[in-house]
Structure 1
């Protein structure tokens, strides 16, 4: 028994040295150390779980942070994928799509993207209660997977990259403002036509 335990421990150490982690046990280290997180449903399960994971990963989640992650839309869909022979069993494909923005100063959108998770489960018409519970459990698993994928996306970003995106967004905004001002000046410089006078009969 002791030998087997030592062998398991030895394998675990070797695998972790190679960079392998069991799902849920790896590090979630992020280069971004401050982030504001918001969602349309401010107290929804997805945004709540995301805040918790970010905090446990060492991110200071607070309002007024330099950058803001906004979960703009979360949509759940379900469709029949196939029918089993009995006629009462149906394979359903569940899908959850999460759209998000990363905003900088003045609520400028720096990045806009979406994540998708899909799962298939068997709905048994002879066991409606059990099938309903299974569907709910799968939805929870999908939400956890969405949160983990969002963390992976955030891990790929650095403050330097976000600063660069902010600088480009500021340049675009400045160029657009200058173009509008030039157009307004050109319009103001044009002579205004006097209203047409209609002679009285």
Structure 2
């Protein structure tokens, strides 16, 4: 019985890693039906895989969507976490930080946030090739975790919440435009002294 359960769990993990999702087991409850998705690295793995996951979740990814998800920056870093006594191997901590922005109408920013994932892998000084493959695999797993986190963030956003954020952004943009216009009118109405008048003073 235990072996059977482990087999079923193993198959489920394998299928989910391939992007397949068993009916009734998915947690994606996206209320956003349309979304534009772009990134600074337009052909990067993260934005490409994110688009695929969104489409598999029933979201129409289109440039005509009322809201846009922009992956503004993706930064990878690595630091030594620990060293083995003989110096032949060491643990390294990999970190990826993904900054993103959700834009509404007129490209107004509605939300700015970031996601962060960490993973530790062992680098064997006697097996550079194998260690490099392990690091690459770790990065792939981290990217998958990032995308899952992004989907979870998007699940929390409803059309009503996005509309409220849009109204707040519109009000802020209007207030800034009014302030600029008021400053311009004040400058126009303020008498300007000529250079000759300034010299006489």
TM-score by length of 1: 0.85
The aligned counterpart of 2:152 is: 152
Taking the aligned partners of 1:160 and 1:41, their CA distance within structure 2 comes to: 30
Q: Aligned partners of 1:160, 1:130: CA distance in 2, in Å?
A: 49
C-alpha contact 1:92 1:121 (8 A) present in aligned 2: yes
* Residue matched to 1:16: none
Alignment pair present for 1:108 and 2:108: yes
Q: Residues of 1 paired with 2:195 and 2:61: CA distance?
A: 60
Aligned pairs, how many? 183
1:115-147 deviations in Å (ceiling 9; x for gaps): 000000110001111111100001000000000
Q: How far off is 1:191 after superposition?
A: 1.1
Pairwise mapping of residues 87-98 of structure 1 onto structure 2 (< 5 A)? 87-98=87-98
1:147-177 deviation per Cα after TM superposition (whole angstroms, max 9, x unaligned): 0000000000011101110001111111111
Distance 1:180 1:76 in 2: 40
Question: Which residue number corresponds to residue 68 of structure 1?
Answer: 68
Match of 2:13 in 1: none
Larger deviation, residues 23-32 vs 137-146 = 23-32
SS class of match (2:116): strand
Tell me whether 145-154 or 79-88 shows the greater mean CA deviation: 79-88
> Within 5 Å, which residues of 2 pair with 1:27-176?
27-176=27-176
How far apart in 2 are the matches of 1:176 and 1:54? 35
Q: Is the partner of 2:195 in helix, strand or coil?
A: coil
- In the alignment, structure 1 residue 177 sits paired with structure 2 residue 158: no
Task: List alignment gaps of at least 5 residues for structure 2.
Answer: 10-15
Query: Which secondary structure does the structure 2 equivalent of 1:43 belong to?
Result: coil
Report what 1:15 is aligned to.
Answer: none
- TM-superposed deviation, 1:29: 2.1
* Cα pair 1:29 1:58 within 8 Å, conserved: no
Deviation, 1:39, is 0.4
CA distance in 1, matches of 2:129, 2:183: 65
Counterpart-to-counterpart distance in 1, 2:39 and 2:184: 38
Per mean C-alpha deviation after superposition, the further-off stretch among 181-190 and 48-57 is 181-190
CA–CA separation in structure 2 for the residues paired with 1:73 and 1:45: 13
Displaced runs of 4 or more, over 4 A: 22-25
Listed as ranges, the gaps of 5+ residues in structure 1 are 13-21
RMSD: 2.1
